[in-house]
Amino acid sequence: AQSVTQPDIHITVSEGASLELRCNYSYGATPYLFWYVQSPGQGLQLLLKYFSGDTLVQGIKGFEAEFKRSQSSFNLRKPSVHWSDAAEYFCAVGWFDGGSQGNLIFGKGTKLSVKP
Partner 1 sequence: DAGVTQSPTHLIKTRGQQVTLRCSPKSGHDTVSWYQQALGQGPQFIFQYYEEEERQRGNFPDRFSGHQFPNYSSELNVNALLLGDSALYLCASTLYRAYNSPLHFGNGTRLTVT
Residues that bind partner 1 (CB under 8 A): 4, 32, 34, 36, 41-46, 49, 51, 90, 92, 94, 96, 99-109
In the complex with partner 1, which residue's Cβ is closer, 15 or 75? 75
- Whole-angstrom Cα distance, residue 53 to residue 4? 22
Dihedrals φ, ψ of 84, to 5°?
-75, -5
Q: Rounded to whole angstroms, how far apart are CA atoms 26 and 82?
A: 32
Cβ nearer to partner 1, comparing 34 with 85:
34
Minimal distance, residue 34 CB to partner 1, in Å: 6
Smallest separation, CB 101 to partner 1 (Å): 5
Residue 21 near residue 107 (C-beta atoms within 8 A): no
